Chain A
Amino acid sequence: MTELLLSESEKTFILHGVQQNFRGDGRTRSEIRPIVMETDIVSHTNGSCHLRLANTDILVGVKTELETPLPAHPDRGRIEFFVDCSANASPAFEGRGGDNLAADISRVLARSYASPEILNLKELCILPGKTCWILYVDILVLEVGGNLYDAVSMAVKAALFSTKVPVVTVSTVDGGEPELDLSDDPHKATRISVQNAPVLVSLSRIGNYCVVDSTPEEENCSSASLLFSVTPKGMLTAVKKIGGGSFQQTSIQAAAKQAVSIGVEVNDKLLQKLQQEEEMGRKREKIGFLL
């Protein structure tokens, strides 16, 4: 994706490192770089998360809006993703450069959240056929430092975790028009359960091995990557191949297994940390971008 110029010898160095399960930054093939994350930092949104994975910098905001449910699912709310690749993130995103990537990411996210097992969208419905909440997930890519998909998916999950949906009660439905009453306590809100929400795990094939959480240099050496959406229970909800290279059937299976084990662990750790942050309560000092 990013145009990064690597010499042949650099590529060989990375390749050899991967072969020996000892990558340039000292990681093994299935190790992930440290992640810094903070939720609830954009006060205008209902839920938000700022996530930094090495140089990859993502800001996600979730806004709730009232709308009519789709006729196909009159008793469900909806979730919609919108990705904006900021031109600051990479020179390649300048102009309309990031649009394809952005569309790609939102498609993958939509697919991975499409399974009814993941979010209980029925909870977002207020009046079947009349009113429901829509979760607009706005993803802002501020900087790209490799492994963009994974970082985005984690940030989305964290933002959904922190989302507070206003409490709305239906007072009357007489005369066909529902009358919605809003609780006057701004702190009163319902939360969205993200117990089953997936994260994306992308595996880049370098030589004959797949590495997780690749750096931009490694991505440059990779002929193709596989992207798995893994739920905390180890279920796969979406798979996508990125790049021109090809995979053998057996290696896909092996990669899937690897992705599931990594994905379950990431999900687990993520939830753990989010819970920890939640417990710090409202008095937590917010750091924002002054990292």
Chain B
Amino acid sequence: MLAQKVFLKKTKRGNIIKEVREHYLRDDIRCGHPKCQKCDLVGSVNKALLTENPISVASVCLEPHYIVVDTNIVLEHIDALESEGFCNVIILQTVLDEVRHRSSPIYKRLKDIISNPARNFWVFVNEHRKETYVERQPGESANDRNDRAIRVACAWFNKHWKEEVGAKHGKAILLSDDKANRDRAESEKISSFSSYDYVESMKDFPSLVDKLKQKDGKGDGFSKRFLFPEHLAPAQINAGIKSGRYLKGVFYQSRTSYLEGSVNVEGKDPILVQGLEHMNRSVDGDTVAVQLLKKEDWSAPLEVVLEDDGFDSGDTLDPAKKLVSESAKSKDTQLTARVVGIVRRKWRQYCGMLQSNPVKGSNRHIFVAAEKKIPKVRIETRQSDKLIGQRIIVAIDSWPRSSRYPVGHFVRALGKLGDKATENEVLLLEHDIPHSKFSDAVLECLPEMPWTITAKDKLERVDCRHLNICSVDPPGCTDIDDALHAMPLPNGNYEVGVHIADVSHFIRPGTAIDQEAANRSTTVYLTDRRIDMVPELLSSNLCSLRDDGDRFAFSCVWEMDQEANIVATRFHKSIIRSRSSMTYEDAQNRIDDKADTSDLTESLRILLKLSKLLKARRIEAGALLLASSEVRFNVDSETADPIDVQAKVMRETNSMVEEFMLAANISAATRIHQNFPDCAMLRRHPAPPASNFDPLVKAAKQQGHEIIIDSGKQLADTLNAATDAKRPYLNTMLRMIATRCMMQAVYFASGTIEEPLFRHYGLACPIYTHFTSPIRRYADVIVHRLLAVSIQADSTYAGLVDKKQTQKIAENINYRHRMAQYAGRASVNLFTHLYFRNKKRDETGYILYIRQNAIQVLIPKYGLEGTLFLNKKKRKDEEVGADTELAWHFNEDEPSVTLDGHKLSLFQKLEVQVELDSTDIQHEKLVLSLVKPAIPGYSVAPAPPLPEEEESSTSKVSQEKDGARKRKSDGSSTNDQDLKEKNKKKMKKSN
């Protein structure tokens, strides 16, 4: 049977056309009941049906029943639906379609539930079943029509099952939060319940009620007084934006003050928004419309740090108002505006913890997000006793005008606060790192084990198994993605080969595994955990160039002359057999061992010799060597708690491998850019603007060194010259400061910007990409594919040669890399905190920065940077018998701070005491206090030595469970990944 769907559509150009679609109605669409004979005609499809005898878990409806949900239930209570309590749910196509239109993230979550056979979610295609199709009536809104379709389907289920399986085997009940719909359902003799009534009666799932979304203004706790001005309607906002009355931009909450934020409007300076009323319920990340204030009302950012203190201050904005008006209307006013409407919310789920309600037994609680930029959220939960002290996830539902805080609901608990596993989870969630297990679809893409090399493979690849190939990596590395070889040629030149794991052989474009890898984009290294980009079978076995068998590789082979000039380059896919997987130390020992003259060792010596030449040339060209301290944690083998930290050692061999990787990357970049001028995936590092270097130049000047920043080369040279024999750390610290002046290196598609901008500033080369670590970086996979096409080893596909798509991938990779870096840093922080828990230590530190009220201290032993606050203290003066105030005097020009004749200036050596401040359990932080120079009344007494601690670090053979790996220091980290290509952190498989 055929029906027609007629609807009007507005085209992009503004015309209105009538569309007619054919709509086929059938009578053989299954109802989903396993016992229904009539619907089983189609044959037994291996799909999860509803269960035969649904057991009611809700006391409101004790008969066996199946739940038909209304769209509003899915949209608002998806968190509840995701929990185990809901089974035997029928999702009508009407609902599914509506959800898809309204919210794609929720649609995806719903699809995930449906695809889980254990949950018995059944999709009934009611729109195509003859009996349940309804046509829209004149004067009926689309919503009403859908509601009617849902009711018609319910009624049909009841009738159909009565006839086919008997009424006792189940009936359909409707779950809807729409009162009108429920009333109509009742009048049509369909049982219906509101989500709240139904869920509340599910006695076995008491926590479910908390997961229900809070309705606007529901409950009596909210005063009806409106605190905030109304938001404008979307139409008004659009009109205002068009006419220029309002500006649209993204709202960023200030990190330091909860009372202000800024709005970034394209083509304008950031606009200040001050005061809760003016911020008008915007949350960090929302796209908002703002109206500029009159010039005389413009303001300056607050200079004080403000935190929304402890308790639920009730629904009032008064204290906040006062604070704002108190802020001096200084002369540096800037554009100031107020938020008039929200264009798009960017609410997500937030990690944090519950602040207990002082009223015992109350269900209302305040949730404090771990991220300081997120306002507190009101939630309702009955499990507060259980949840206090746990990390939980909460979603914001709405922010009513009458409420001081947004209203949300509890989603799930992550675990105990301060627990390592919980904190790791928080870290991953907060940095948006996909860390779920690989799905079955992805795992199905893996080759079958045991994996063998076929004759066809041999035909397509160059057999390099006779070469003395070896890999050099940090200890404990399992994802070895590069190996090297070198040998002298008869003409006096050398052949040098870099062999990279051929990941693109296993990850074919468009497959599930490819999509997953593209989404993850990078392997994330946390201190005690590695989140792989590809499943472990690939990362640690098939693609890992271990010395235990034949592997596929993508080889870049050069002919180099004695001066390490590249005479010829060729790329090919190959089969290799690594002779040895060495650590840097192994390789170094072999090279140093004069007696060892084996082929392998000889080739290592050639490599080392050539790498030194390469490095010298690179430095000559102006490449920067930027310092950053690396730390590794010695981890207790049982508890996996860190018991000691040590800085990392650099060996000659590190730099040897690094040089060849850089060279391979440059060769690959040149090649793909030649062949694909438009869509090559490259990496660039923009030169920083001169103003970025101000702190560096200033700091060096104070130390009597001049830093010239006109070119990378001059910068490198002057940095090299800035040494002081007496202070070996001076140079390192200058380099650390230099690192922070740098820009971020990014991936891009070559067709999107002009060629001169391709330059990589840090490496001083005109073109660069990443080719050498396809196991842990997706960019390299793309580069491999491009290269494979360019040497005709593989075929191309549409997405590969599409500049826009490549750029899109590049942007995702950039985002993920940034997040991975932040997460890695956060992870080191976490471990540092664990290490310092219950410890108080005196350490040697150096002053890195001086500010008015604080100095930044670098503690090289841990690669740790901490802030030493120069608070005012009172000293009891015994002679006078009164308190004298100790205040530091700040000299901005030098810069230095002075107190009582003790002057602290840049790079000065200090003794500081480090301990962990756990007063704010959500944000533990390290606190430094001054020990030396000893200022009476100000410095603290040296910490008592910890004898048992000393012992443990010397006698206990601690297992190095994993190399620590994040450069702690590089706040504005730049090209670290390039420079430290090889210093990537790998992890030993936990035993």
A, B: real partners? yes
Instruction: Indicate the member of A45, A66, A186, A282 with the most B CB atoms within 10 Å.
Output: A186
Whether A180 sits at the interface, judged by CB under 8 Å, is yes
B8 and A182 contact, CB distance less than 8 A: yes
Which of B7, B16, B141, B239 is within 8 Å of A174, CB to CB? B239
Judged by a CB distance under 8 angstroms, whether B137 is at the interface is: yes
Contacts of A177 in B (CB 8 A): 242
Alpha-carbon separation in the docked complex, A182 to B9 (Å): 8
Known: A182-B16, A185-B138, A186-B136. A172 touches B235 (CB 8 A): yes
- Which chain A residue shows the least CB distance to B9? A182
Task: Tell whether A185 pairs with B140 under 8 Å between CB atoms, given A43-B4, A45-B18.
Answer: yes
Evaluate contact between A44 and B16: CB separation under 8 angstroms. Answer: no
Asked if B14 CB lies within 8 Å of chain A CBs, one says yes
CA distance A6 to B235 in the complex (A): 70
B15 and A172 form a contact (CB under 8 A): no
Contact B238 A172 (CB under 8 A): yes
The digit string for B1-33, where 1 denotes a CB below 8 A from any CB of A, is: 000101111100011101010000000000000
User: A43, B15: Cβ atoms under 8 Å?
Assistant: no
What 0/1 readout, one digit per residue, does chain A (29-62) give for beta carbons within 8 Å of chain B? 0000000000000011110000000000000000
Q: Which of A166, A174, A184 contacts B242 (CB 8 A)?
A: A174
Distance between A270 CB and nearest chain B CB, rounded to angstroms: 25
Q: CB of A235 within 8 A of chain B?
A: no
Given contacts A66-B14, A185-B139, A185-B141, contact A179 B238 (CB under 8 A): yes
User: When the two chains form their complex, are residues B18 and A46 in contact, meaning their CB atoms are under 8 A apart?
Assistant: yes
Also in contact, A184 and B138, with CB within 8 A (given A46-B18, A168-B16, A172-B242): no
**A-contact bits for B346-378, CB 8 A (1 contact / 0 none):** 000000000000000000000000000000000
Which residue of A43, A168, A184, A282 contacts B20 across the interface (Cβ within 8 Å)? A43
Q: What CA separation (Å) do A174 and B244 show in the bound complex?
A: 10
Name the interface residues of B227-243: CB closer than 8 Å to any CB of A.
235, 238-240, 242-243
Q: Contact between A187 and B242 (Cβ–Cβ < 8 Å)?
A: no
B-chain residues with CB within 8 Å of residue A180 when the two chains form the complex: 10, 14, 16
Distance in Å: Cβ of A74 to nearest Cβ of chain B? 18
CA distance A43 to B7 in the complex (A): 10
Set of chain A residues within 8 Å of B238, measured between Cβ atoms: 172, 179
Min C-beta distance of B536 to chain A, whole Å: 51
Q: Report yes or no: B8 in contact with A186, Cβ–Cβ below 8 A.
A: yes
Give which listed residue, B4, B6, B10, B243, contacts A175 with CB less than 8 A: B243
A43 to B4, CA, bound (A): 9
Pick the most buried of A166, A179, A185: most chain B CB atoms within 10 A of its CB.
A185
A184 in contact with B141 (CB, 8 Å): yes
State the total of A-B contacts with C-beta under 8 angstroms.
63
Q: Which chain B positions have C-beta within 8 A of A43?
A: 4, 6, 20
- Taking each of B6, B18, B141, which has the highest tally of chain A beta carbons within 10 Å of its own beta carbon? B18
**How far is the CB of B2 from the nearest CB of chain A, in Å?**
12
Q: Is A208 in contact with chain B by the CB < 8 A criterion?
A: no
Are B142 and A184 in contact, CB atoms less than 8 angstroms apart? yes
| Chain A residue nearest to B137 in the complex (CB) | A187
- Which among A46, A171, A174, A184 has the highest number of chain B CB atoms within 10 Å? A174
**A187 to B6 CA separation, bound complex (whole angstroms):** 9
Q: A172-B239, A174-B239 are in contact. Are A187 and B139 (CB under 8 A)?
A: yes
Which chain B residue shows the least CB distance to A44?
Answer: B20
Interface assignment of A65: CB less than 8 Å from any CB of chain B: yes
Give A69 to B597 CA distance when docked, in angstroms. Answer: 92
Question: CA A240 – CA B378 in complex, angstroms?
Answer: 81
> Cβ of B139: which chain A residues have Cβ within 8 Å of it?
185, 187-188
In Å, the complex CA distance between A177 and B140 comes to 31
Complex formed: what's the CA distance from A63 to B240 in Å?
34
Give chain A residues whose Cβ lies under 8 Å from the Cβ of B16.
Answer: 64-66, 166, 168, 180, 182
CB distance from A78 to the nearest CB of B (A): 15
Complex Cα gap A152–B131 (Å): 41
Shortest Cβ gap from B14 to chain A (Å): 7
Counting chain A residues whose Cβ lies within 8 A of the other chain, the interface size class is: 20 to 34
List CB contacts (< 8 Å) of B104-155 with chain A: 136-142
The distance in angstroms between the C-alpha atoms of A174 and B4, with both chains bound, is: 38
Contact A175 B18 (CB under 8 A): no
Interface majority SS (helix, strand, loop, mixed), chain B = mixed
In contact, B10 and A182 (Cβ under 8 angstroms): yes
**Contact between chains at A282 and B138 (CB < 8 Å):** yes
Contact among B15, B18, B137 with A66 in the assembled complex (CB-CB below 8 Å): B15
A82–B367 Cα gap in the complex (Å)? 68
Within 8 A of A (CB), among B893-939: none
Q: How far is the CA of A183 from the CA of B8 in the complex (A)?
A: 9
CA–CA, A174 to B14, complex, Å? 16
Q: Mark A148-175, 1 if CB is under 8 A from B, else 0.
A: 0000000000000000001010011011
Question: Distance in Å from the Cβ of B541 to the closest Cβ of chain A?
Answer: 56
Residue of chain A at shortest CB distance from B240: A174
Task: Kindly provide the distance from the CB of B560 to the nearest chain A CB, expressed in whole angstroms.
Answer: 64
- Report Cα–Cα, A46/B9, bound state, in Å: 13
Query: Which residues of A in the span 264-291 have a Cβ within 8 Å of any Cβ on B?
Result: 282
> Once bound together, how far apart are the Cα atoms of A282 and B136, in whole Å?
12
User: How far is it, in angstroms, between the C-alpha of A46 and the C-alpha of B242 when the chains are bound?
Assistant: 33
The docked-state distance in angstroms from the alpha carbon of A188 to that of B140 is: 10
Expressed in whole angstroms, the Cα–Cα distance for A176 and B20 within the complex equals 33
Give complex CA distance A44, B20 in Å.
6
How far is A168 from B20 in the complex, measured between Cα atoms in Å?
19
CB-CB nearest in chain A for B140: A185
Nearest B residue to A180, CB-CB = B14
Chain A nearest CB: distance from B353 CB in Å? Answer: 44
From B14, B16, B242, name the one whose CB has the most chain A CB atoms within 10 angstroms. B16
A168-B16, A174-B243, A175-B242 in contact; A186/B141 too (CB < 8 A)? no
Minimum CB–CB distance for B963 against chain A, Å:
59
**Alpha-carbon gap, A168 to B10, bound state (A):** 10
Nearest CB on A from B101, distance (A):
12
Q: Do A187 and B136 contact each other (CB < 8 Å), given the known contacts A171-B235, A172-B235, A172-B239?
A: yes
Residues on A with beta carbons closer than 8 Å to the beta carbon of B243: 174-175
B929 to chain A, nearest CB (A): 60
* B contact residues around A172 at 8 Å (CB): 235, 238-239, 242
Query: Nearest B residue to A45 by beta-carbon distance?
Result: B18
Which residues in A have their C-beta under 8 angstroms from that of B9? 182
Q: Which residues of B contact A168 (CB under 8 A)?
A: 16
- In the complex the two chains form, what is the Cα distance from A172 to B137 in whole Å? 29
CB distance from A227 to the nearest CB of B (A): 33
Instruction: Determine how close the nearest CB of chain B comes to the CB of A184; give it in whole angstroms.
Output: 6
Cα–Cα distance between A120 and B10 once the two chains are bound (Å): 25
User: CB distance A166 to B20 under 8 Å?
Assistant: no
**Could you tell me if A186 and B6 are in contact, using CB atoms closer than 8 angstroms?**
yes
Chain B positions within 8 Å of A46 at CB level? 18
Least Cβ–Cβ distance between A48 and chain B, in angstroms: 11
- A186→B7 contact, CB < 8 A: yes
Which chain B residue has the least Cβ–Cβ distance from A64? B16
Whole-angstrom distance from the CB of B340 to the nearest CB of chain A?
15
B138's nearest neighbour on chain A, judged by CB, is A187
Q: Which residues of A contact B8 (CB under 8 A)?
A: 166, 182-183, 186
A136 to chain B, nearest CB (A): 12
Residues from chain A with a CB closer than 8 A to the CB of B239 are: 171-172, 174-175, 179
A10 to chain B, nearest CB (A): 48
- Beyond contacts A172-B239, A185-B140: 9 other A-B pairs, Cβ-Cβ < 8 A, are A44-B18, A166-B16, A171-B235, A172-B242, A179-B239, A184-B141, A186-B136, A187-B136, A282-B138
Q: List 19 A-B contacts (CB under 8 A).
A: A43-B4, A45-B18, A63-B18, A64-B16, A166-B16, A174-B239, A174-B242, A175-B239, A175-B243, A180-B14, A184-B141, A185-B138, A185-B139, A186-B6, A186-B7, A186-B136, A187-B140, A188-B138, A282-B138
B residues with CB within 8 A of A: 4, 6-10, 14-16, 18, 20, 136-142, 235, 238-240, 242-244
Q: Which A residues are within 8 Å of any B CB, using their own CB? A: 43-46, 63-66, 166, 168, 171-172, 174-175, 177, 179-180, 182-188, 282
| Nearest 8 pairs of A and B residues by beta carbon | A187-B138, A172-B239, A175-B242, A174-B243, A174-B239, A43-B20, A175-B243, A186-B7
